[in-house]
Amino acid sequence: MSMFRDITIGQYLSGSSVVHRLDPRTKITIVGVFMVVLFAATDAAAYATLTAFTVLAVHLARVPARMLLRGLRPVLILLVLTFTLQLFLTPGRTMFTLGPLVASWEGLRMGLFMVARLLLLLVMASLLTLTTSPVSLTDGLESILAPFRVVGLPAHELAMMMTIALRFIPTLMEEADKIMKAQMARGADFESRSLSRRIRSLVPLLVPLFVSAFRRADELATAMEARCYRGGRHRTRLNRLRATALDAAAAALTGFMAAVVIGLRWWPG
């Protein structure tokens, strides 16, 4: 049952830190730039720069580190697997052998970089949702996507779908928890070791969950239509997005970070 509690991606932690007050468009762009730059990093100095940037962001956001770390727990297996595969499958100078498997120094390097890359990516993505309320996140996204409307991209509809999806994550998790408990009260076994039993035990959980999700979707659609909702055209906003000096500072800092990392890679010598 505790499996639903550790997921931090998609959660929002209200606050008033510098990062919380940034314009969502700035934050989305920063995370985008960060991701691109992350894939340009090839040496330790670049990773150090990126890590410093991330640590600074977490510190400024005043998000408890414990919470971020807890969110990483579910991907621990993925990290270990990535590291192991890199370690043994990268050809190079032998570090040690384990039966038929050969671990290389190059593999160690690649493995560590890969893990660092995934960790930084996850932390930044979590930080974005932790410091940006779902509403402003989608407002930001809609505003960024708006120029693509000319080529037929339904920006508003996409943003609205995302808002609704994010809004219902906690509701559905609560519902899943409740249904799971109700079936456990009828002797269902969700903790069995046997894989086939575990998969079969999903049916009594998923069927009621889907039924209730459809019912909710239906009710929501009716409620929206009852208030005359009809898509993006001519809609006005209560809170208009506004970029401030703070956003300029954040952009400058990100630009500097990106310059350092890219410089480290392509600067001659």
Partner 1 sequence: MSIETVDLTHVYMPGTERAVVAVDRVSLRIDDGETVGIMGPTGSGKSTLIQHFNGLLRPTSGRVLIDGEDLWPREKDGPRTADLHKVRRKVGLIFQFPEHQLFEESVYDDIAFGPRNLGLPEEEVRRRVTVALRMVGVPEDEAEALGRRSPFSLSGGQMRRVAIAGVLAMRPATLVLDEPTAGLDPRGRLELLETLSRLHRRWGLTLVVVSHNMEDLAALVDRVIILDQGRLILDGPTREVFRDPESLRRLGLDAPPVVALMHALAARGAQVDVSRLSPREAAEEIDQWIRAGRPRRAGSGREGDAGLVHV
Residues binding partner 1 (CB under 8 A): 5, 64, 67, 178-179, 181-189, 203-204, 207-208, 211-212
126 DSSP assignment: H
**Min CB(162)–partner 1 separation in Å:** 25
**Min CB(131)–partner 1 separation in Å:** 15
Nearer to partner 1 among residue 21 and residue 178 (C-beta): 178
Looking up tokens 């009594």, which residue turns up?
204
**Min CB(19)–partner 1 separation in Å:** 17
Nearer to partner 1 among residue 106 and residue 175 (C-beta): 175
Radius of gyration of the chain (CA): 23
**Min CB(211)–partner 1 separation in Å:** 7
Nearer to partner 1 among residue 148 and residue 210 (C-beta): 210
**Min CB(98)–partner 1 separation in Å:** 33
Nearer to partner 1 among residue 24 and residue 71 (C-beta): 71
Nearer to partner 1 among residue 154 and residue 204 (C-beta): 204
Phi/psi class of residue 64: alpha, beta or left (left: φ > 0; alpha: ψ in -120 to 50)? beta
Phi, then psi, of 96 in degrees rounded to 5 = -155, 165
* Interior angle at CA 214, CA 212 and CA 216, nearest 5: 70
Looking up tokens 């049952």, which residue turns up?
1
DSSP output for 178-217: HHHHHHHTTT--SS-S-HHHHHHTTHHHHHHHHHHHHHHH
